[in-house]
Structure 1
Amino acid sequence: MEEDTDFRIRFSSLCFITDHVGFHGTIKSSPSDFVVIEIDEQGQLVNKASDEPIYKVNKMLPEPNNLAKKTKLDRQNLSFEERSNQELSTLAGCSDGDQIHAPGSEKEDTIKDGTSEGEEGNIDVLGSLLDEKTDELLSQFACDVKERWDSKTELIGPSPEFSLGRILDKNQRTILHSAIRQKFPFLVTIGKNSEIVVKPNLEYKELCHLVSEEEAFEFFKYLDAKKENSKFTFKPDVNKDHRKAIHHFINKKFGNLVETKSFPEPNYSADNPSVVITVRFREKAHKHRKRSLLECQERKVIYTAFTLRKENLEMFEAVGFLAIKLGVIPSDFSYAGLKDKKAITYQTMVVRKVTPERLKNIEKEIEKKRMNVFNIRSVDDSLRLGQLKGNHFDIVIRNLKNQINDSANLRERILEAVENVKNKGFVNYYGPQRFGMGRKVHTDQIGLALLKSEMVKAVKLFLTPEDLDDPVNRAKKYFLQTEDAKGTLSLMPEFKVRERALLESLHRFGMTEEGCIQAWFSFPHSMRIFYVHAYSSKIWNEAVSYRLVTYGSEVVEGDLVCLDEDIDDEHLPSSKVHLVTEEEESANTYAIRQVVLPVLGYNIQYPKNKVGKWYQEVLNRDGLQTCRFKIPTLKLNIPGCYRKILKHPCNLSYQLIEDHDIDVMKEGSYIDEATLSLLISFDLDASCYATVCLREIMKHDF
């Protein structure tokens, strides 16, 4: 796939705010040269081992039995837990948004277990509750639908429907719903303000493409009866791919109601590899009885917080590995912020449905993956992005040299640069790691495709290979050539958790627009929205550079300024953002440190000067002139926020050191420049990037 260069900008073109010369050097020579430690909301470094939790502690809760072991089917269902409630609550004969038959999906028309008493009983019920003409018209409607399907004639236009009229008695409606579906499983019933409407059951028709009509007929009768502890078994089948298609169909349509398993026939052998698929109802999550206080506490969701130390490991890969070891899914983990890959990082995380004891049990296993967990404790709730004060950085910059054609004393250049940024700050760009710099496809390109609802393109961009000959990129190349998700899965290494999750979904749902939408739901919400935020971040970087080139450090009419400097960027309300007037510009009322620019979203205002016009031109360029920054199909809403264009490092300290003996440089002593390194430490607010601060200090792109 060709690189989409029109939608990205190189960091080398972004301007600086300070005017010193800077110097050259190498960062991240090894992970230990770049240490990141999260600062919690109380201002404490999270790498300090402590028995005191940073959140309110729960009483220790027993672990639910069903979490210790999860079937593969359960995990597949859970990976799509963020799909719309409408789809997840779909049951027998319920594909349209207004269809009912999910437990609790319509308060008025509920259907009790065990109402079915066999087809003959239901025929009598229909005859007793419906007048003769209505009963005949219903039978004729059913025959017409069936004849259309049997003759392979497609239904043209909207799905036909037949109304039984308004039936005021709730019990009669309940009985009619069940009686009609038992007699005509290829129909569905819908409740609308005491009216019962009958429509073709499109799921029934779809299942008939996979199994015999007799099996489909009996299966939908089984679903409607909802008899506890009952099972339904399809006919023996020797075709593994065909069985898989049946599993996928039932799991997709009715996975919240039933589960499927395959069992070999009693006479199973190489000559007779027959296997049957058995369907059974899932155990009910709640028993309809009064519970004691202790029982209610036991059912409360468990949250366990911990500090994660990882080394040279991408964060999403770390979360995926932990999820596998704990038998949960990646979206069960929450965190306050993303951390660098090529670094040693410490951050707080919270995992749902896992007890502290269970997390402690995997400590030895995850050490092999360059991870450690400590400060493990029970807490009341999950974390949210931005729920931190900032990050502390300990960084070693090696191989220090002057800029090209700069003959000044290197030591003086370093001191000048560090002090200049310490006093004047740096341009608050989003860092290159947010965009996957150095890759053929950047995260912002994927985000733009998602904003434009180009789901297939977004998937292909995500799976675009680099120009490397390794297993991961060979697998990606194979996929783009063939779109064979199953074959690509066999080539994709196990540690590529995100890629495998996406491919499993594509194998399940297909490489269609709808299939790609479902595939994106294999990622947790935080990961899906990450790509959209990457696009917004890229535009913000371009905007602030344009703003500084156009107006410099002066605050001008039409600028947006923050009226409360104590509020961090991510939570800056519009009420605290002020539009600078002509009079305020003349009076120099505001300073450059107060200027903010909007990060794209549906709830922001733009500057009323050249910068505001620039935003609109860029949105037009990228085909987003009508974009509302909401992606309903992916359940993503992007309200936007405001971000200060300048930031200052806090608690900054630095030392010049010699690589061979790590001695601190003494005043006036001479050190060979080739052996000189800089150890620098500082704190940054949440959502600020150390690499961007270093770029301003060094005047050097990495």
Structure 2
Amino acid sequence: MKQGSEAVNVPACFISNHEGFLGSIKNFIEDFVVTEIDIDGHLVKTEAATQTPSCASGDGNNKTSAEFLENSHSSVSQDADVSMEWGVDVPLPGLGSFDLGVILGQSVSEELEHFVLTLRDEKPPELELSLGSFADKHQRANVHRAVRHRFPFLMTVTIQPEIRVREDPDYRELSQLVKEDEAEDFFRFIDAKVRGSSYTFGPDDNKEHRTAVHHFLNRRFGKLVETKSFIDQGRTSISVRLRERGRPKKRTAEERKEEEVYTAFTLCKENLETLEAISYMAAALGILPSDFTYAGIKDKRAITYQSMVVKKVSPQRLAEKIAEFEKRGMRLSQVRSVSEPLRLGRLQGNHFDLVVRDLRPHTDAHSGVDKHTRLASLVKEAVENVKARGFVNYYGPQRFGSGQSVESDRVGLALLKEDMVSAVRLFFTPEEGDDPQNQAKRHFLQTDNAKESLALMPLSKARERLMLRALNRYGTGPDGCAQAWLSLPHSMRVFYPHAYCSRVWNEAVAHRLTTMGHSVRQGDLVRKRDGQNKTEDTGEGSAAQIHVVTHQEEQAGAYTLEQVLLPMPGNTVKYPENAMGTWYQERLAREGLRDCRFRVSSLKLNLPGCYRPLLAVPHNFSYQLQTGAGGGDGGRLRTGESLTLNFDLDSSCYATICLREIMKTDP
């Protein structure tokens, strides 16, 4: 077994005892093709797409999915921090929401960056910059929104169809009264105009200073907002709320109609994360990443096909962008109107077309046997075993952030123990290397200075920047660190505790097979025979649907190992009523979670838990062993033995784990 970081959270326990073989995957992008299977059991890939193995050629300048993940699934109801009776302090979109290089063009974007540096360094009076002319009103709105979000201290002015920018004098005045990052956040809050929202400045115990802030806000924004001071834990702060009459003007019938538009399409992407593709499309269309919905997230290093729905964009408007998207490794097809968004988990699974290259035996035994004949025998035995018996349904290494010096499950453990300071410091643990991101992380851990670390952190690292901004505003103590976690969207916060629970599940299934064997035992959990299979990650499937195997059922062989479920820890699950139940108790107690409620109220996190099948079985499995050389990308030759595999897996099952069982090594 591979002993690197990728194998740490996936124990070396298998269901079959065949020998396996060595090989490598993802040598070429078309070696790993993933096609979503929709809720009706149909492949989302179109006939035309089937004939074209490659979606498009990307430009290679892609950001990682982590830089965009914080922009997905964000909503006020999930992520906001309630501030007294004044409504909701709205978490601001990450800077990755708007790609100025896409919206303005790279040359104009660079010119704008230079203009901003000139403003900050030289402060010349009445300096202006033209961003060019924009005939389309949607494009103009997108430019205004993106520039003001990225640079809150700028004013954007339309002299139709030209857009010009200059320094905002109101921002300059406010930044002399409050911290600069607070001034930026306040202007983003004003620009967003989210109904019922509020913005709270940091604690300020100087009454005269608070009065000056109140006077400025009422003088410059009195028609739009109202302000008040309130005391929380002995400290006084100013909260600002949008007035009822300061809400955006009533939408026209045309605008309301546009809000209700849903457009579905099939996305084929190459060498892109799902969330990375969404972020680019959102920037190009002038909408938020959360306006896109999808059934599941797909691999980056692969060609993938999946269904998506976008709201507020008509099929005609989306079709106008297709050629632009193709340049970034995305191809859109089957563009059509639908009546509702997609729901996460609304799929049956995924179909995989994989190629394993450079095949060779684990050992050089049987040296007298022809290599191809020996490999053919090893492959046939391995594939037939997995087709018949399945594989241990581990969570794959990507669930834990493979390759990181501190994996996500350790951060999740600290959050479950409500040790906010440790969780933040683990989050900022640097990797090897001296790139700007790791320099910023090291600086924070060494100095506790969030402001200086924020200045060092690259703009593309939106997650880290959101947390550093909150730490600068609220401090690096327990309360400040809690606020830092709250600055991330709910979907990102909950990822870390889920990673920890997934690690416990992986260890549980390995312990179950090692100590109790491959037979169904009394006290094991199975789903009731009349129950329906539920998707694992939605938390569906209550304890009432779970049956505990009796002694008589064990003796009669009433259930198979494929039907056994193991719980992922949470506050609604029941545990096995045998030695595994004790194992869970001792395992959680060992890390200080004996009395854990699997709720972190301060972060609005609730983990109900779920039941995951111990085994997964591939369906519609076929394979072909090939010998000899062939052409590759850019004229590169592909030599040696290769294995083509085609199979379906249920949702939340990992193809790399299936390959691991087949090959008896990490591919």
Which whole-Å deviations, capped at 9, do the CAs of 1:109-129 have from their partners, x for residues lacking one? xxxxxxxxxxxxxxxxxxxxx
- Per the alignment, residue 555 of structure 2 pairs with 586
Partner residue of 2:45? Answer: 47
- Which residue does 1:399 correspond to in 2? 358
Deviation at 1:517, TM superposition (A): 3.0
- Structure 2 partner of 1:653: 622
1:596 Cα deviation (Å)? 0.6
Question: Could you tell me how far apart the structure 2 residues matched to 1:603 and 1:534 are?
Answer: 18
Q: Is 1:597 matched up with 2:597?
A: no
Q: What amino acid does structure 1 have at the position aligned with 2:515?
A: T
Q: Judging changes above 3 Å, is the alpha-carbon distance between structure 1 residues 494 and 214 closer, same or farther for their aligned structure 2 residues?
A: closer
Deviation at 1:340, TM superposition (A): 1.9
Aligned position for 2:533 = 567
Q: 1:611 to 1:550 in 2, by over 3 A?
A: same
Measured in 2, the distance between the counterparts of 1:42 and 1:286 equals 40
Between the aligned partners of 2:483 and 2:325, the Cα distance in structure 1 is 30
- From 247, 261, 264, give the equivalent of 1:283: 247
Is 1:473 equivalent to 2:451 in the alignment? no
1:402 offset after TM fit, Å?
0.2
Query: Paired residues, what number?
Result: 508
Distance 1:384-1:582 versus aligned 2 partners, 3 A rule: same
- Determine the structure 2 residue equivalent to 1:615: 584
Residue 599 of structure 1 aligns with an amino acid whose one-letter code is M
1:204 Cα offset (Å): 10
Deviation at residue 446 of structure 1 after TM alignment: 1.8
Q: Is the 8 A contact 1:331 1:525 kept in 2?
A: no
**d(CA) in 1 for partners of 2:284, 2:470:** 21
Equivalent of residue 349 in structure 2, options 390, 402, 407:
390
Partner of 2:380: 415
- Report the Cα offset of residue 403 of structure 1: 0.9
Contact 1:400 / 1:674 at 8 angstroms: preserved in 2? no
Contact 1:311–1:344 (CA<8 Å) still a contact in 2? yes
Of 488, 511, 518, which residue of structure 1 is paired with 2:483? 518
Partner of 2:271: 312
Greater C-alpha radius of gyration? 1
Question: Tell me, what secondary structure is at the counterpart of 1:618?
Answer: helix
From the superposition, tell whether residues 349 and 254 of structure 1 become closer, same or farther in structure 2 (CA, over 3 Å).
farther
Conservation of the 8 A alpha-carbon contact between 1:305 and 1:351:
yes
1:259-310 superposed Cα distances (whole Å, 9 cap, x missing partner): xxxxxxxxxxxxxxxxxxxxxx7425769xxx9xx58953855444333333
2:156 paired residue number:
none
Percent identity of the aligned residues? Answer: 47
- Aligned residue in 1 for 2:407: 442
Out of 212, 215, 222, the position equivalent to 1:215 is 212
Change (3 A) 1:555 1:569: farther
In 1, Cα distance between the equivalents of 2:663 and 2:410? 29
Q: Report if aligned partners of 1:485, 1:503 keep a CA contact under 8 Å in 2.
A: yes
Cα 1:48–1:217, aligned 2, differ >3 Å: closer, same or farther? Answer: closer
For the residues of structure 1 that align with 2:383 and 2:201, how far apart are their CA atoms? Answer: 70
Please tell me the residue identity of whatever aligns with 1:345: T
Contact 2:525 2:564 in 1 (8 A): yes
Query: Out of 392, 401, 404, which is 1:427 matched to?
Result: 392
Counterpart Cα distance in 2 of 1:205 and 1:662: 62
1:87 aligns with 2:87: no
For the residue of structure 2 that corresponds to 1:212, the secondary structure is helix
How far did residue 592 of structure 1 move?
Answer: 1.1
SS at match of 2:499: helix
Contact 2:567 2:612 in 1 (8 A): yes
Q: 1:370-389 maps to which residues of 2 (within 5 A)?
A: 370-389=329-348
**Cα distance, 1:205–1:17 mapped onto 2, change above 3 Å:** closer
> Which residue of structure 1 aligns with residue 297 of structure 2?
338
The 5 Å alignment of 1:108-123 reads none
SS of the equivalent of 1:643 reads strand
Say whether the 8 Å CA contact 2:259–2:311 is kept in structure 1: no
Aligned CA distance change for structure 1 residues 321 and 527 (closer, same or farther; 3 Å): farther
Structure 1 residue 357: Cα displacement? 4.6
SS at match of 1:603: coil
Query: Structure 1 residue 692: deviation in Å?
Result: 0.6
TM-score, scaled relative to structure 2: 0.68
Normalization by structure 1: what TM-score? 0.64
Q: Secondary structure at the match of 2:82?
A: helix
Task: Please report how far the alpha carbon of residue 504 of structure 1 lies from its aligned counterpart in structure 2 after TM superposition.
Answer: 4.1
Is 1:31 the equivalent of 2:29? yes
One of 684, 698, 702 as aligned partner of 2:649: 684
In 2, the alpha carbon distance for the partners of 1:11 and 1:522 equals 28
- CA distance 1:547–1:298, shift in 2 (3 Å): same
- Cα separation, 2, equivalents of 1:319 and 1:502: 22
Partners in 2 of 1:22 and 1:645 — Cα distance?
21
**What is aligned with 1:22?**
20
3-state SS in 2 of match to 1:254:
strand
Equivalent-residue separation in structure 2 for 1:16 and 1:493 (angstroms): 43
SS at match of 2:305: strand
Deviations 1:308-328 (A, max 9, x none): 333323344444444444444
SS in 2 for 1:675: coil
Moved more, 421-430 or 355-364: 355-364
User: Is the 1:311–1:345 Cα contact (8 Å) retained in structure 2?
Assistant: yes
User: What is the CA-CA distance between 1:690 and the residue it aligns to?
Assistant: 0.3
- Give the Cα separation in 1 of the matches to 2:547 and 2:465: 47
2:590 maps to 1:624: no
Q: Deviations over 1:577-621 (max 9, x none)?
A: 110111111121211111111111111100011111110111101
What amino acid is aligned across from residue 640 of structure 2 in structure 1?
T
How far off its partner does 1:40 sit?
Answer: 1.0
Question: Residues 545-569 of structure 1, C-alpha deviation per residue, up to 9 Å, x if partnerless?
Answer: 1111111121111111122475144
Q: Which amino acid aligns with 1:375?
A: Q
Deviations 1:637-672 (A, max 9, x none): 211111111111011111112352379xxxxxxxxx
Q: Distance in 2 between matches of 1:603 and 1:364?
A: 48
1:561 touches 1:594 (CA, 8 Å); kept in 2?
yes
CA–CA separation in structure 1 for the residues paired with 2:467 and 2:284 = 19
Q: What do residues 113-168 of structure 1 show as CA deviations (whole Å, max 9, x unaligned)?
A: xxxxxxxxxxxxxxxxxxxxxxxxxxxxxxxxxxxxxxxxxxxxxxxxxxxxxxxx
Deviations 1:354-394 (A, max 9, x none): 44455445445544543344434444443333211100111
RMSD (CA atoms): 3.8
